[in-house]
Amino acid sequence: MSARVLDGNKIRDEIKADLASQIAGLKRAGITPGLAAVLTGDNPASQIYVRSKVKTCAQLGLHSEKIELPAVTTTGQLLDLIQNLNQRDEIDGILIQLPLPQQIDSQRVLMAVDPAKDVDGFHPINIGNLVSGRPGLVPCTPAGIIEILERSDILMNGARAVVIGRSDIVGKPVAMLLLHKHATVTICHSRTRNLASVAREGDILVAAIGKAGLVTRDFIKPGATVIDVGMNRLATPEEVRHVFDDPTIPLRELESKGYVLVGDVKPEDVKESAGAYTPVPGGVGPLTIAMLMVNTVRAARARRGMLLTAASQL
């Protein structure tokens, strides 16, 4: 029996449908949630991401502004812009697209964003709210992972969950969210001894370490739910052959596109060993932008003192 595919595109569409009705209700009350996306420099991947976020805002009826700054922008100039956005009432969410150019102090910039408008959920105040279980803006990818598990009826209460990766953006926050869902959580990383055997204890395995095909069948408890957060580009035939047992189709994709997108989990192994899994692409990725939209609407409500109704607790 093959593993169940957890379709991130389908879940994203469900969330967007829920959001659309909420946004329509807010607009009837004279409120249009607004997002400012700040893009500094000319990183091609960042340009694609910001374009997708602005496009999604338009689809849902949110106000959005794309602010593009040159690569030579200084930390001071970016801080001045953020101060201005913090003060603008029609802007509910501020997104600073990462990575920033090397000369910019990223930590100072992220700390300058008003926590009430920090729709990425990176500010220490929002991280503190997450840790203590208080309402706040939660990092988008971890929030999306919880949405996938909940909407796919994956039991978290009492489950053993193993998170591979300890980043501030994914690993740590998703571990905390799973803990709040009453899972028993283990965080692993590059220095964890006997990594495969620890991972194999997980009823839920979250792979977020950023290394293509690291997680093989030896890591996967038979029947476990595997959430693959990795987004890795394979650019050579050697890399493709290392990750795929049968590289025939991926090699054709490499020849036509110039790269093959894979996660942190070996695709063939997860299909054979897991009970359910998120594919790459089409798994966790689509949820990240959807949850950014959720955070923007949530920020708009919270900033106006509106109670978060059950329907808004996506």
Q: Which two tokens stand for residue 62?
A: 């949110």
**Average model confidence (pLDDT) for the chain?**
94
Return the pLDDT at 313.
46
**pLDDT over threshold 60, residue 96:** yes
Write b or e for each residue in 195-228: b if 16 or more Cβ atoms lie within 10 A of its Cβ, otherwise e. beebbbebbbbbbbbbebbbbbbebbbeebbbbb
Known catalytic residues are 53, 97, 120
Angle at 128 between CA 125 and CA 131, to 5 degrees: 155
- Give yes or no for a cis peptide into 70 (omega within 30° of 0): no
Domain with CATH 3.40.50.720 in the chain: 140-284
Q: How far apart are CA 251 and CA 256, in angstroms?
A: 9
Cross-strand partners of 37: 66, 95
Return the pLDDT at 310.
36
Tally the C-alpha atoms within 13 A of residue 42's C-alpha that lie toward its C-beta. 3
The predicted model gives 216-239 an average pLDDT of 96
The predicted model gives 17-41 an average pLDDT of 95
Coil, strand or helix: which one is 84? helix
**What would the pLDDT profile of 167-195 be if each residue is shown by its tens digit?**
999 999 999 999 999 999 999 999 999 99
Structural contact between residues 100 and 71, judged by C-beta atoms closer than 8 angstroms? no
pLDDT band at 305 (very low <50, low <70, confident <90, very high): confident
Count CB-CB contacts under 10 A for residue 133. Answer: 10
Q: What is the CATH number of domain 140-284?
A: 3.40.50.720
Cross-strand partners of 277: 5, 226
Stronger pLDDT, 308 or 300, i.e. the higher one: 300
- Give yes or no for a cis peptide into 33 (omega within 30° of 0): no
**What would the pLDDT profile of 107-156 be if each residue is shown by its tens digit?**
999 999 999 999 999 999 999 999 999 999 999 999 999 999 999 999 99
Structural contact between residues 35 and 65, judged by C-beta atoms closer than 8 angstroms? yes
Domain with CATH 3.40.50.10860 in the chain: 27-118
Task: Write down the CATH superfamily of domain 27-118.
Answer: Leucine Dehydrogenase, chain A, domain 1 (3.40.50.10860)
**pLDDT over threshold 80, residue 293:** yes
User: How far is CA 201 from each of CA 6, 52, 217, 223, 268, rounded to the nearest angstrom?
Assistant: 21, 37, 13, 11, 20
